[in-house]
Amino acid sequence: MINYLRRTWATVNLNNLDYNIREIQRMVKPGCEIMGVVKADAYGHGDAMVAKRLVANGINWFGVSNIEEALSLREKGIDKDILIFGDTPYSLARVLAAQHITQTVYSAEYARQLSQAAQEQGVVVDVHIKVDTGMGRIGFLCYDDIPAAADAVEAAVLLPSLNATGIFTHFSCADEVSQSSKDYTRLQYDRFIKVCDLLKARGITFRHRHCCNSGGLVCYPEMHLDMVRPGIILYGHTPSAEIADRIHFKPLMELKSVVSLVKEVDESRSISYGRIYTTPKARTLATVCLGYADGYTRSLSGRANMVVNGSLARVVGRVCMDQVVLDVTGIDVKPGDVVTVFGSDGQNTVTVEELAELTGSFNYEMICLVGRRVPRVYLEDGNEIAVVDYIRQRL
């Protein structure tokens, strides 16, 4: 048996990851590469185990937010291509080059700074050019004046000590089905293609042109180009409820905890902080070893269900930092019983999506919030094969 503290833990089903990858591979055209987005510790699932499984399934590109995440992959044995989406201090040009990490170049000023640092440090840095076609965050502005955008990109590409192997943009609403959102996505794509074509006419080409996140990958197959960047669908969740009926991916993660105490409580007893819940009559209550420090947000107080021995039980009172109370009246429960916080047990399921809706959030945030003190336990063919314990730093 894999050794980990069975207080609160998250299981990650690697067979479901295999399935999701195969589905994505089936959806993209031949020759289109797949970049597995593993930023934020693979959306809370554990970057090393997820990335290694992606490599085993033929994935050769990885997307991360920052250089710390990139170096984490390198330290864990991932030797494939990595693209940093966000900012890296230009003074780290030598690190980027030595670790074969591709850096996003998103402005003329940053391009000049990175080029100068690379020259001074005697290295060449691989880069992808980020074009802002309507997301409004970072990137060379490419809205109405396409020639000006092409001029700025061309100047960056021609700087010494930068090797521009790719160009990309990011869709802001590709997972939305309203006509205005569809029109805006097509406008973004049109801007991107125009600037790429104009650069091509000037003799500037790129090995990789990419624009499709999960929503774009699912909804706009004609926009897949040379590479796609699936994130949330890798982990089995829909990028939005609006397109949930179009995809059939399998969630990887389930969050589990245990009952520490079962007690009979009389009528009119207040429970937990703030006395927001008082027993309307005698109830059986169970304390569970989970709280907002584990990622189970306080906004779920009195609103959500968990599954105990196959039955739904409501959270009562305020969620605490380390504990929460369930009403288990009528359910056969004892200390040590496993509680499914989200996931399935018997005929009942609590989904990440329904918890997100209760909190006014969305599924991305719910899985990313699962705390660092929660071990990730990896399953293959129903067996526990590995554990990542962030507190005790072991695998």
Annotated binding site for substrate: 137, 321
Quick one: which H or E segment has residue 27? helix 14-27
Q: Is 273 a catalytic residue?
A: yes
**Is 322 strand, coil or helix?**
coil
Binding residue numbers = 137, 321
Q: What is the DSSP string of 165-221?
A: EEEE---SSTT--SHHHHHHHHHHHHHHHHHHHHHHHTT---SEEEEE-HHHHHH-G
At 175, which amino acid appears?
D
User: Annotated catalytic residue: which of 29, 200, 263, 273?
Assistant: 273
A 10 A CB-CB count for 6 gives 14
Q: State how far Cα 384 lies from the chain centre.
A: 23
Long-range CB contacts (< 8 A, 24+ apart) of 357-362? Answer: 358/299, 358/300, 358/303, 358/304, 359/297, 359/299, 359/300, 360/299, 361/297
Return the axis-axis angle of helices 146-157 and 108-121, rounded to nearest 10°. 10
- Token couple for 380: 């293959």
As a whole number of angstroms, the distance between CA 100 and CA 95 comes to: 8
Residue 334 is among the residues annotated as catalytic for this protein = no
Nearest CA to 53 out of 9, 20, 31 is that of 20
* Residue 301 near residue 319, CB atoms below 8 Å: yes
Gap between the Cα atoms of 378 and 180, Å rounded: 42
- Choose the catalytic residue: 39, 43, 110, 220: 39
Question: Of 37, 41, 89, 81, which is closest to residue 61 (Cα–Cα)?
Answer: 81
Residues annotated as catalytic (active site), given as ranges: 39, 273
